[in-house]
Structure 1
């Protein structure tokens, strides 16, 4: 099993479990996608240990964080993230925020709260609210929820939990997967994943009506170029909308990566390089501002 030690931090009345590692003057905070927690960053963190202080955590209700009885919305998660940063990251330090998938919605709302504290933002395959996949997402979510309800019952039996999480087992180191199996792929973890899916359904109409402010800090979006089987058309559409969103930013960079959705597991080096790119920008500007003379992160096609 993983040997990383963490601590519990209380934010907004929620007990969240936090692991801190690395060293340096700058700080990087990681926000996981739906159904995932701090362990989803295990392959990336060692690559950045000499560059910055690193913070990975489990959202309230997930992993080793305290259980919650109610339904948290995306705004609630963003408020927790901002409060966690206020509690853990010194105000004098430069901050880069990294978020995967649904975590991108959380991070963008949190960016509004963090203001100039945020010096860099890395989004890994987020779904912009303009994407057509959200047009009927409530219907999609109901189908996924029915499947997750079955999974929630199955994961009570450990061999079935391994079977249900086989795609994850193939992507993560053995000790990381063992921790995920013990903490995440359990009935409570699946129940929380279902709640997070409902949170996305509830959030999209507001994101479309009142989108978060555009990040003014340097922002990198990593998008996979390898679609899931049977979803090539959806992937193409998603990429178009991701590129369009990046084009609206004052300081944005799009990069395609030869990977599936879990880029941090399949191509951790590229994620680390993108974080390093943002840290270098922070070091060069020394304050919230923009430069345009730095090369894009390696490993993909910038556009």
Structure 2
């Protein structure tokens, strides 16, 4: 029996076109898929209660530290929610509500069940932060929206809420795709193999397949990238591409669930697809007749207003970041760069001048506590400057950047801004410590000491497994920040916690510089050069003829013991007769906390003060010994008669 042939156009039309869902069908499909997610989630949490016990991933005694800075009422509410009996009761209620939503019906009581799931999920999230991976948040978003839609009798409100869910789904794919484009591993197609190799999300057999069939693996990675970046095309020509795009997205989540163990991703993210299907269909389609699309106009107007506000904020921050502080000076270096510096250099003082060198993607404001201590104690003179491209400092050279350029700029700053005869102490944090070490050789007798605050080491990417593994992520993160801020998204940049730990006088300006795309562009430029130079480093460090204080953060060396060995090598490069070399580890300190945490900064300052006092005594003793030896030599070479005639 011969089967009837189907014309190619008809076969193509079966693969293309909208998915006709009514408003009620879209709500029902979304809430049921989300209910499966919450049902499985609560069953998993009750079955894996060991994770909330001492030693578990979500033990509340440890997890609550993330909310230590929040208000007392909120902390109390979270403590109540995290109590084992409360947690079990909430999960029991979620299981009952989820099971009820899987039953047929369109009652408004379903709205109450959805809202309960959305609210209870938000309450439980702080106590179950590890293990959700975004699936519970996605299902909670759907449940909150569908719950409000069920409780409303207005079709316009229901349509607005469905548009909200659809917009969230579209943005989640598009933003994820365009951000992936910033990573070289996604652009060259190697990302899939990298993900399959990780311990958290990897799968050995899948990784082996990517190695056996690299071309197919690259094609699949590029396919995922294209799907996410082009997902907004679902709204082109009345939803012509709705079927292939939603089918591809659903297949993508099924694959994630099977290979990566993210089972709840399948139902949580596909729960938003019915809203996409409903809103993507042309309004002329009978299934969506009467659909209210005014939310698009409102959203567009709000987006335009938000973009204008973000642009104005970006301009204001740029002006503030590029405006030198009152009384600041400027130095033009041998490379033509213009460095802006601030500080206190008294004409009648004779002691060393402390020159602070900030780290990668950091600001001079990070040294706020150090500067404040110098001002209050009337201690050593100091200079604070922004490297070329940071804050008000400008990079004008057209040459390819290397770390040598920053070292040269630092040496030129000292030569121009520090009076002749005055010695300097370079205080560098992170990459600033490595730049200070490289500049030390150009300063000669003007250099008294170098202070390394959790400094970088040129061999760290080769010798430290952790540093080497995270190097690519550092570059990708800097690239993402640069592109995002240049696109005007600085208004969405959250205020970092460390900023509020700085002295109040430094916070506003530091935030302006931190949110300025120029800082991140300069940091990306520095990182790319540092990565190349660090990867190619061989041999021992060159000796530095100066005193040295090497301060390590406990979290840094505990997490990576090799870092402590490298810090020891930095100190060894300074060891010589007559040189003071000190090393110390600040307990409880992390990499940035050495500067931004007032207690930890105070501890580091105490070591710095003692170190400088010791170097002063050592230098004075050496100077006295040299004078005595010179005087003895003069006396020994003078004839008795000559001495008497004088």
* TM-score normalised by L of structure 2: 0.41
Q: 1:14 to 1:237 in 2, by over 3 A?
A: same
Instruction: State how far apart, in whole Å, the 1-side matches of 2:383 and 2:529 are.
Output: 24
Secondary structure of the corresponding residue to residue 555 of structure 2: coil
Structure 1 position 275 matched with structure 2 position 608: yes
Match of 1:196 among 509, 526, 532: 526
Secondary structure of the corresponding residue to residue 617 of structure 2: helix
What is residue 418 of structure 2 aligned with on the other side?
89
Instruction: State how far apart, in whole Å, the 2-side matches of 1:202 and 1:177 are.
Output: 33
Deviations 1:47-74 (A, max 9, x none): 1231221100000111111144654211
Secondary structure of the corresponding residue to residue 522 of structure 2: helix
Secondary structure of the corresponding residue to residue 583 of structure 2: strand
What is residue 73 of structure 2 aligned with on the other side?
none
Deviates more, 1:114-123 or 1:141-150: 141-150
The 5-angstrom pairing of residues 1-303 of structure 1 reads 5-12=327-334, 13-21=336-344, 23=346, 24-26=349-351, 27-49=353-375, 50-68=378-396, 71-131=400-460, 140-155=470-485, 156-161=488-493, 163=494, 165-205=495-535, 207-209=537-539, 211=541, 213-227=542-556, 232-234=558-560, 236-250=561-575, 251-258=580-587, 259-262=589-592, 263-266=594-597, 267-286=600-619
Deviations 1:247-280 (A, max 9, x none): 4531421100021112122222233223323432
- Asked whether the 8 Å contact 2:544–2:573 carries over to 1, the reply is no
Q: 1:157 to 1:5 in 2, by over 3 A?
A: farther
- Asked whether the 8 Å contact 2:546–2:574 carries over to 1, the reply is no
Deviations 1:64-121 (A, max 9, x none): 1114465421111101100110001123112211100101111111111112211111
Secondary structure of the corresponding residue to residue 604 of structure 2: helix
Instruction: State how far apart, in whole Å, the 2-side matches of 1:3 and 1:122 are.
Output: 25
Instruction: State how far apart, in whole Å, the 2-side matches of 1:14 and 1:288 are.
Output: 40
Q: 1:62 to 1:133 in 2, by over 3 A?
A: same
- Asked whether the 8 Å contact 1:217–1:289 carries over to 2, the reply is no
Q: 1:89 to 1:207 in 2, by over 3 A?
A: farther
Secondary structure of the corresponding residue to residue 113 of structure 1: helix
What is residue 299 of structure 1 aligned with on the other side?
none
For CA contacts below 8 A with separation 6 or more, give which structure has more relative contact order.
1
Deviations 1:202-234 (A, max 9, x none): 3225543574x322322010001134xxx9442
Q: 1:207 to 1:105 in 2, by over 3 A?
A: farther
- Asked whether the 8 Å contact 2:423–2:445 carries over to 1, the reply is no
Deviations 1:137-185 (A, max 9, x none): 6774332222222222333334322x1x524324323442321221232
What is the CA distance between 1:40 and its match in structure 2?
A: 1.5
Q: 1:103 to 1:200 in 2, by over 3 A?
A: same
Q: 1:288 to 1:185 in 2, by over 3 A?
A: farther
Instruction: State how far apart, in whole Å, the 1-side matches of 2:602 and 2:478 are.
Output: 31
Instruction: State how far apart, in whole Å, the 2-side matches of 1:225 and 1:268 are.
Output: 13
Q: Larger % of helix: which?
A: 2
Q: Unpaired runs of 5+ in structure 1? A: 291-303
Deviates more, 1:125-134 or 1:80-89: 125-134
Q: 1:225 to 1:138 in 2, by over 3 A?
A: closer
- Asked whether the 8 Å contact 2:429–2:454 carries over to 1, the reply is yes
Q: 1:56 to 1:215 in 2, by over 3 A?
A: same
Instruction: State how far apart, in whole Å, the 2-side matches of 1:70 and 1:181 are.
Output: 30
> Larger C-alpha radius of gyration, 1 or 2?
2
Instruction: State how far apart, in whole Å, the 1-side matches of 2:548 and 2:619 are.
Output: 16
Instruction: State how far apart, in whole Å, the 2-side matches of 1:83 and 1:29 are.
Output: 12
- Root-mean-square deviation over aligned CA pairs: 2.9
Q: Larger % of strand: which?
A: 1
Instruction: State how far apart, in whole Å, the 1-side matches of 2:482 and 2:404 are.
Output: 26
Q: Unpaired runs of 5+ in structure 2? A: 1-319, 624-646
Query: How many residues align structurally?
Result: 284
Secondary structure of the corresponding residue to residue 43 of structure 1: helix
What is the CA distance between 1:237 and its match in structure 2?
A: 2.2
Q: 1:160 to 1:70 in 2, by over 3 A?
A: farther
* TM-score normalised by L of structure 1: 0.82
